[in-house]
Structure 1
Amino acid sequence: MEPQPSLKKKTIGGLLWSFGDLIGNQGIQFLIQIILARLLLPEHFGLIGMILVFIALSNSLVDSGFTQALIRERNASQTDYSTIFYFNLLISVLIYVILYAAAPSISRFFDEPQLVSLLRLLSIGIVINAFAIIPKAMFAKEVNFKAQAKINLSSSILSGVIAVVLAVAGYGVWSLVLRQLSMNAIQSLLFAISKKWIPSLVFSIASFKRLFGFGWKLLVSGLIDTFYTNVYFLIIGRQYSAAQLGYYTNASRFSEIISQNLAATILRVTYPVLSSIQDEHERLKQSYKSITKLAAFLIFPVMVGMAAVGEPLVMLVFGEKWLQMIPYFQLLSIAGMLYPILALDLSLLQVKGRSDLYLLLEIINKISLTILLFLAVWLELGVIGLITAAILNTYLEFFVNSHFSKREVSYPAKEKVRDLLPIYLLSFLMGAVVWMLGLLVDTTIVIQLLLQVTIGMLFYIAACRVANIAELKTVYGLILSLLKKVRER
């Protein structure tokens, strides 16, 4: 069953603005990251990487699963929003105090004295972020990504300029810290101004219990996922040098620009939309199936293509001092292929209110990852072994997630593999062509990269046309819709 026109229009509009946010915001952040990578040393990024896990876990704790609970709530009230706002703010302050006190111990763990002051300053951003959680949830609930795109773009540009000026002035790692802090502050301020929402002087125990009843499982699963997403920084920072962690940090961020950010873009649009049809089983299944196939069509070839052009891409973007990050970047790109599909499966469980299954899946998947990481460390396989463990675990997660999500929408792993396999195979075929072209072409890096990307795109489009991949027409329709809107203005 096709989505109703109003829902389809709402989804496409949200996707267009969300993709615009991705291209604009992430493009600016990527440009700033390149400039900073050329101005700073790998060790500077490594120092920030050592404390990322603590900042990420803290932000998950502050949110406490309430954002998803509020978005899913059909008729969230001012009392609901105010209650969650005060709770988030209180938790953020408590976490800051804990991190401030724990900073010396964390510094000793990594044997890096600088971490004390770095962590204490960077942790202020946790409190600042708490002020933006409710306005963000309101915008997401309304599927209003136009305002979010403008805010994110503005904060990226302003914080990026601040960071570059400080890096040029010789502030080193502090330019990275102040970049993050200024981004947090600008975002929170702009969200508050745009939404014009002010909390009421009320805290409802009933609201808290109702929302926390759904959100606490998402909180626990979010903490588990956040910890394991950042555990590589912890292991590499402890076992290896700050420079080695710096290579991994930039390789990770570089590869995630497409996979995780594109996944986040799709999820923040589709979650509120799918939540609105959560009780219409057949309609929900068809919408979920279409979104999954579209995500794979867009992300699979990009991630494989990035791995295929990894060497000239890293050389051109970061320069010769970052050569050691090339194999990390290539493997992380392959590891990120399935991330959007896995995230959609978990999002579906949230839509259906199955936060219990969401938590169970996180536990199962992270137990398997723990075993694989333990083997990689025990066998002394190095950073390459750690990333390989992540790749293997994504495939295990795919089948585990599919097994549980099929109960909610009758979309089993067998059917999902049948839908995604043609796109998967065509992506790797395109990657092989692009990689071999790089071996045969003897020219400058820029020309080589342009040839590889152009041939790769044309080959993938032609192959999809021959294989009659329906998503090619869908994307073509989205592009035409976007061009139509541009012309109308």
Structure 2
Amino acid sequence: MSLKKQALHGFIWTYAEQSGGQIINFFVNIILARTLFPDDFGVLGILYVFITIANVLVEGGMKTSIIRKKNTDENDYSSVFFANILISISVYIIIFLAAPFISDFYRKPEFTLLLRFFSLTIIIQAFVFVQSAILTKNLDFRKQTLMKIPSIFLSSILGIVLAFMNYGIWSLVWMYLTQAFFWALFHWLFSDWKPKWVFDKALFKFHFDFGYKLTIVEILNSITANIYQIIMGQYYTLRDVGYYTQSLTVRQLPISNIYGAASKLLLPIFSKVQDDEARLVNTYQKMLSILMVVIAPILMFIAFFSEQIIVFLYSEKWKLAAPFLFYLAIAGIFNVVYSFNTSVLSIIGDSKLILRIEILNKVQRFIFIIVALILMLSIDYFLFSILLASIVNYLIVDFYISKYLKIKKFLLIFLFLRFLIFSGFSVLCSYVFFNNFKFILIPVLNLALSFFVGALFYVALVYFFNKKTISDLIELVKK
């Protein structure tokens, strides 16, 4: 099979794994949210922060090092494998000893046992880092998908059963623990590679020297990505953490499946046109317009109908999560454009520029958090500060990409605002229709009909004012 066919085959299976896993998780999440309580998901949100950072430490960037090295052999694989196991045990011991202090920090004594038990996933996952790297290196995404989906499905059944048996937060912990177990088990049953009793210090040092830099970056990214859960758990309530994490789940579903797929096109597209300045600018504006024309109305609809969506998905007890979803959905529009711009700059620009943008991103985000805590703002104002931070991120990267592509500074902002206004006006029509023309007694059908009305207005506006974007989108889908 040619590399091109391998890449296409891999893309299809990767997308199947991503979409299939997300769809299963989404529906399971709905069932669990209706059975459990926001506080349970708040506890999980806090625990998951520590597990995420721990897994970054254990993997240590060495998985990436294995994938990128051309002439890997059994000595490479086995050396990294045993290193991962030893590091995972060490990290687990640290978390085991630190658990009581973390419990004291959040004033939740039950955190100690929960964190110690949940952290076993760190050791379990260390047993499959190398197998997963080998499969990725060989572009064998089909096998990974056929192992990942059953792992999610089987563990989800256990989680749902335990939730109905009133195990509370433990049903979530057991679900994720068994998911890690099945993921590891399937790798050992169906992966062709098994470790040999070999440990080469020189090879370990080679992979570690490459990986530790990535690890530092990933730890900073993990802390930044999870900083809001950490702050909410300490200065607000665990219930707020639960509202935040569940709202984030709803918001990320369209972002992951639309932008997640589109982002895979960026490297081949922009790498081909990067030497032709005029074509590069034209391609960038076309891709940005296509992205905005799809993602903006969906996230705007989620924001305006946040209460109806939350109640429909999670039941009335989650109603107070509506403001969380509102702010996160609006912020998501700015975040998608920010990610798109940084991806483009990483392809056509230099790494120093990306580093500068990322530093500015993290600094201004922390400034907003510190100001909110100093002023002791309510949770609503804190959520508003999250939106403001996303807007500032967008403006920062917009400044740099305008400068790099030599586009007038306000041209891209006008392009962005155009689709934001189209989306806002269309969703406003949906909202008016929903509140004044309730022909059907079933709320979800009213919601669907309102979305359809808003979509018609949106397509009409875009067709009238920006017809070319629709033709570009159709052309892209055909290809």
What is the TM-score with the length of structure 1 in the denominator?
0.82
After superposition, residues 367-446 of structure 1 pair within 5 angstroms as 367-402=363-398, 416-417=412-413, 420-442=416-438, 443-446=441-444
Equivalent position amino acid for 1:388 in 2? F
Q: Pick closer, same or farther for the CA change 1:105–1:23 going to 2, 3 Å.
A: same
Aligned to 1:486: none
Q: Pick closer, same or farther for the CA change 1:38–1:434 going to 2, 3 Å.
A: same
CA contact (8 A) 2:403 2:409 kept: no
Distance in 2 (CA, whole Å) between partners of 1:209 and 1:438 is 62
Distance in 1 (CA, whole Å) between partners of 2:402 and 2:6 is 26
Aligned to 2:218: 222
Aligned to 1:487: none
In the TM superposition, residue 363 of structure 1 has moved relative to its aligned partner by 2.6
Q: Pick closer, same or farther for the CA change 1:223–1:362 going to 2, 3 Å.
A: farther
Aligned to 1:108: 104
Bigger CA drift: 420-429 or 242-251?
Answer: 420-429
After superposition, residues 149-164 of structure 1 pair within 5 angstroms as 149-164=145-160
After superposition, residues 20-31 of structure 1 pair within 5 angstroms as 20-31=16-27
Distance in 1 (CA, whole Å) between partners of 2:395 and 2:69 is 32
Distance in 1 (CA, whole Å) between partners of 2:474 and 2:289 is 15
Residue number among 184, 193, 212 corresponding to 2:180 in the alignment: 184
Q: Pick closer, same or farther for the CA change 1:265–1:65 going to 2, 3 Å.
A: farther
Bigger CA drift: 363-372 or 435-444?
Answer: 435-444
Distance in 1 (CA, whole Å) between partners of 2:426 and 2:76 is 50
Bigger CA drift: 20-29 or 465-474?
Answer: 465-474
In the TM superposition, residue 381 of structure 1 has moved relative to its aligned partner by 2.2
Residue number among 463, 466, 469 corresponding to 2:464 in the alignment: 466
Could you tell me the percent identity over the aligned residues? 27
In the TM superposition, residue 311 of structure 1 has moved relative to its aligned partner by 1.7
Q: Pick closer, same or farther for the CA change 1:452–1:69 going to 2, 3 Å.
A: farther
Equivalent position amino acid for 1:48 in 2? L
1:332-359, Cα deviation, whole Å (9 max, x unpaired): 1111223333334444566679555544
CA contact (8 A) 2:274 2:348 kept: no
Q: Pick closer, same or farther for the CA change 1:470–1:86 going to 2, 3 Å.
A: farther
Residue number among 249, 252, 255 corresponding to 1:256 in the alignment: 252
Residue number among 115, 120, 125 corresponding to 1:119 in the alignment: 115
Secondary structure of the structure 1 residue equivalent to 2:333: coil
Corresponding pairs, count = 473
CA contact (8 A) 1:64 1:218 kept: yes
Aligned to 1:321: 317
Bigger CA drift: 220-229 or 158-167?
Answer: 220-229
Residue number among 33, 36, 39 corresponding to 1:37 in the alignment: 33
Aligned to 1:454: 452
Distance in 2 (CA, whole Å) between partners of 1:386 and 1:438 is 29
Q: Pick closer, same or farther for the CA change 1:318–1:199 going to 2, 3 Å.
A: same
In the TM superposition, residue 111 of structure 1 has moved relative to its aligned partner by 1.1
After superposition, residues 6-155 of structure 1 pair within 5 angstroms as 16-69=12-65, 73=68, 75=70, 77-78=72-73, 80-141=76-137, 145-155=141-151
In the TM superposition, residue 264 of structure 1 has moved relative to its aligned partner by 4.6
Secondary structure of the structure 2 residue equivalent to 1:336: helix
Q: Pick closer, same or farther for the CA change 1:167–1:31 going to 2, 3 Å.
A: same
In the TM superposition, residue 92 of structure 1 has moved relative to its aligned partner by 2.2
In the TM superposition, residue 11 of structure 1 has moved relative to its aligned partner by 6.9
Distance in 1 (CA, whole Å) between partners of 2:375 and 2:337 is 30
Distance in 2 (CA, whole Å) between partners of 1:69 and 1:354 is 21
Distance in 2 (CA, whole Å) between partners of 1:289 and 1:213 is 39
Distance in 1 (CA, whole Å) between partners of 2:414 and 2:7 is 26
Structure possessing the higher relative contact order (Cα contacts under 8 Å, 6 or more residues apart) = 1
Residue number among 291, 302, 309 corresponding to 2:305 in the alignment: 309
In the TM superposition, residue 255 of structure 1 has moved relative to its aligned partner by 2.0
User: Which of structures 1 and 2 has the bigger CA Rg?
Assistant: 2
In the TM superposition, residue 222 of structure 1 has moved relative to its aligned partner by 2.0
CA contact (8 A) 2:147 2:187 kept: yes
Distance in 2 (CA, whole Å) between partners of 1:145 and 1:369 is 36
Q: Pick closer, same or farther for the CA change 1:236–1:156 going to 2, 3 Å.
A: same
In the TM superposition, residue 233 of structure 1 has moved relative to its aligned partner by 1.5
Q: Pick closer, same or farther for the CA change 1:465–1:152 going to 2, 3 Å.
A: farther
Aligned to 2:243: 247
In the TM superposition, residue 37 of structure 1 has moved relative to its aligned partner by 0.9
Distance in 2 (CA, whole Å) between partners of 1:261 and 1:310 is 20
Distance in 2 (CA, whole Å) between partners of 1:233 and 1:86 is 33
Q: Pick closer, same or farther for the CA change 1:197–1:240 going to 2, 3 Å.
A: same
Distance in 2 (CA, whole Å) between partners of 1:428 and 1:141 is 44
CA contact (8 A) 1:83 1:202 kept: yes
CA contact (8 A) 2:65 2:207 kept: yes
Bigger CA drift: 158-167 or 456-465?
Answer: 456-465
In the TM superposition, residue 81 of structure 1 has moved relative to its aligned partner by 4.8
Distance in 2 (CA, whole Å) between partners of 1:26 and 1:366 is 28
**RMSD of aligned residue pairs (Cα, Å):** 3.7
| Unaligned segments of structure 1, at least 5 residues | 482-489
Residue number among 196, 211, 233 corresponding to 1:237 in the alignment: 233
1:213-257, Cα deviation, whole Å (9 max, x unpaired): 654443223222211221221222112333333222322222222
Bigger CA drift: 343-352 or 324-333?
Answer: 343-352
In the TM superposition, residue 163 of structure 1 has moved relative to its aligned partner by 0.3
